[in-house]
């Protein structure tokens, strides 16, 4: 009978076990660092993209707000001109024409700023803030957004409320025209030389003037908060461009 002998297996010494462990450890460690590096590169690209996009949004904000403030300033002039017309002289057709000439403008238009928030929405909803490493930038974004929500947007609501009061009360005492479709509409070039007031109730007319003054006051406050938002937005643009080397 043939006897099979088991082959002799040499036992590994400590050095060989250590070298195997070291090789496995290095392979895992290098894989971890490679994945971390890849993730950092991806996050850097995302961060840079977000900042470029945010700067574009902020530039749109400031450009539109400057134009908005110009229209609002013109609106204020129209209110001032209408308020200079004495209530006691509104029976006169020529005086009515003068009042109507100014009133119809701020009756027709309400100028409210709406923030370009596409990038901010992505930062909030897509977890974009997690890739922003610059704490100063994050804090500045939060400060700007808080100012828009608690100051700009809030006062826009007050201004809109007073505009509606003026619009509603104006319809009680005057034959109101159909609002124009744009600022250059012929409505502002043609004023009917005819009686447009349907009643001359002095207390009611004085109330209309009071609401116009209130609208003017809230618009002025609103404009001040808009200007402060614009300053903050410009500062944030400059900060982002400096920190991220953007042009």
186 pLDDT band (50/70/90 cuts)? Answer: low
Task: Indicate whether 64 belongs to any domain.
Answer: yes
At 30 the pLDDT is 56
Which residue in this structure is represented by tokens 């460690």? 29
Asked if residue 225 has pLDDT above 60, the reply is: yes
18-22, 97-101, 177-181, 240-244: segment of lowest average pLDDT: 18-22
Q: Give mean pLDDT, residues 110-132.
A: 86
Asked if residue 4 has pLDDT above 70, the reply is: no
Burial 183-213 (b: 16+ CB within 10 A, else e): eeeebeeeeeeeebbeeeeeeebeebbebbe
Q: Which domain holds residue 49?
A: 14-243
Asked if residue 107 has pLDDT above 70, the reply is: yes
At 193 the pLDDT is 72
Nearest to residue 219, comparing CAs of 104, 71, 63?
71
Q: Give mean pLDDT, residues 201-226.
A: 97
Mean pLDDT of the chain: 84
Out of 94-103, 105-114, 202-211, give the one with best mean pLDDT: 202-211
Structural domains counted in the chain: 1
Q: Give mean pLDDT, residues 85-95.
A: 92
At 182 the pLDDT is 65
At 132 the pLDDT is 84
210 pLDDT band (50/70/90 cuts)? Answer: very high
At 57 the pLDDT is 96
Task: Indicate whether 44 belongs to any domain.
Answer: yes
At 130 the pLDDT is 81
15-19, 70-74, 106-110: segment of lowest average pLDDT: 15-19
Question: What would the pLDDT profile of 45-74 be if each residue is shown by its tens digit?
Answer: 788 888 999 999 999 999 999 999 999 999
Are the CB atoms for 154 and 112 separated by under 8 Å? no
CB atoms closer than 10 angstroms to residue 151: 17
Task: Indicate whether 77 belongs to any domain.
Answer: yes
Q: Give mean pLDDT, residues 230-242.
A: 95
Asked if residue 37 has pLDDT above 60, the reply is: no
Task: Indicate whether 1 belongs to any domain.
Answer: no
2 compared with 200, residue with greater pLDDT = 200
Nearest to residue 84, comparing CAs of 101, 69, 108, 109?
101
At 241 the pLDDT is 93
Say whether 192 sits in a helix, a strand or coil: coil
Task: Indicate whether 125 belongs to any domain.
Answer: yes
Task: Indicate whether 7 belongs to any domain.
Answer: no
Task: Indicate whether 4 belongs to any domain.
Answer: no
CB atoms closer than 10 angstroms to residue 95: 15
């Amino acid at each position: 009978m043939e006897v099979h002998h088991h082959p002799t297996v040499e036992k590994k010494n400590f050095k060989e076990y250590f070298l195997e462990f070291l090789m496995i450890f290095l392979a895992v460690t290098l894989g971890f660092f490679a994945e971390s590096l890849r993730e950092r590169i991806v996050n850097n690209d995302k961060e840079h993209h977000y900042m470029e996009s945010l700067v574009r949004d902020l530039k749109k904000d400031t450009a539109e707000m400057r134009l908005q403030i110009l229209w609002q300033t013109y609106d204020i002039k129209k209110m001032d001109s209408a308020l200079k017309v004495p209530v006691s002289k509104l029976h006169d057709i020529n005086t009515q024409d003068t009042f109507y000439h100014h009133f119809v403008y701020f009756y027709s238009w309400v100028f409210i700023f709406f923030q370009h928030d596409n990038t901010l929405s992505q930062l909030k909803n897509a977890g974009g803030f997690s890739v922003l490493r610059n704490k100063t930038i994050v804090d500045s974004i939060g400060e700007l957004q808080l100012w828009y929500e608690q100051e700009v947007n809030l006062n826009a609501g007050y201004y809109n409320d007073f505009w509606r009061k003026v619009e509603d009360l104006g319809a009680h005492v005057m034959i109101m025209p159909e609002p124009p479709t744009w600022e250059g509409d012929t409505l502002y070039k043609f004023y009917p030389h005819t009686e447009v007031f349907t009643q001359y109730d002095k207390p009611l007319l004085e109330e209309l003037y009071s609401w116009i003054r209130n609208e003017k006051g809230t618009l002025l406050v609103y404009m001040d908060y808009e200007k402060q938002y614009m300053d903050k937005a410009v500062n944030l643009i400059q900060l982002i461009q400096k920190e991220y080397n953007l042009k």
